[in-house]
Structure 1
Amino acid sequence: MIVGKRVVLRAMERADLPRVQRWMNDPEVLRRIYTYRHLSLEAEERWLQQMGESTTDFVFAVDTHDGTGAAVHIGTTGIHHVDWKNRCCMVGIVLGEERFRGHGLGTDAMRLLVRYAQQELGLHRVELEVYPFNQAAIRSYQKLGFHLDGTRRGATFREGRFQDVLLMSVLPGEVAAE
């Protein structure tokens, strides 16, 4: 468990999967991530099993507290495709619960994740990909210290057309303080 001021990153559990499946089938969520199709609960269960067995992927549930102090599962985040030789990885985040978006919780979760990748796993370069239209996410990543490395022109075919993908990264010492 990784505890921050406003969010907690904890191990994903099977009980989380119905919520994750709902999020991954939400058109507004799908629009911002690389998943192209709706996912079944069985597919989510296979995914969690694979992540648990992986030595190059680490996934977490993102929890926060509601107004009553009760913990609420609001999203998922993860470190993926760890290259242990070059000490780099990809990261990603999904805040599935719409009412918790736009309040800085994703920024807090990503800060915890990047610190974990760099300080606990010893990774040097943490990178991510984001669609250019996702300006809220880009601002969040820049606020954390991510730099724009470049554009993968026409890298994905979404919504009937080829779309660019931005590549951003952060190195040790560049992560902004809380």
Structure 2
Amino acid sequence: MKLTVVTSNAHKAEEVAAFFGGIAEIDHVSMDIPEYRYPKVREIAEEKARDAYRALRRPVIVDDTGFFIDALNGFPGPNAAYVFETIGNQGILKLMDGMTDRRAHFETVVAYASKEEVKSFQGTIEGTIVQPKGREGFGYDPIFLYEGRTLAEIPLDEKSTISHRARALAAFRGWIISAGEPAGD
């Protein structure tokens, strides 16, 4: 089976490839897709998948991730990429200065688009915000503590089995297996 992963983020493509190692051949297409401003991560992922399918004319998967901090009323939410590019981890930590509620979660939605349909699959992971630790990962990974380690302290092969993206990809993989290999266009 061959899956075309569309993302301009090489780290995401590596994580997807590690997750599907031995199951599927991953074709990475680096393509800028508009960052939609919908209130739900699912809506953004599905629209990005439609755009990628229209551009490539073959079945694709894309994902979108939201980062939700309880004490900040869910901010940055589905705007996680923009907020990271704008204020980064230090900006998030500054916003949380003095706050005792450090709970947060990631939500990733993987969307698959073909000529016939768009399907989406969600994965979440709960954790807390901490001072940066670790050298693995990318984005908010150094400040997100999950079960005693930040995501940046977890090696990619392990992270690829437990992360929010891994959970969404596992749901997608389950659908592929139950539905049979998606047909090419």
Query: Could you tell me the TM-score, scaled by structure 1's length?
Result: 0.28
Structure number with greater CO (CA < 8 Å, separation at least 6) is 2
Structure (1/2) with the larger helix percentage: 2
- TM-score relative to the length of structure 2: 0.27
More strand by share: 1
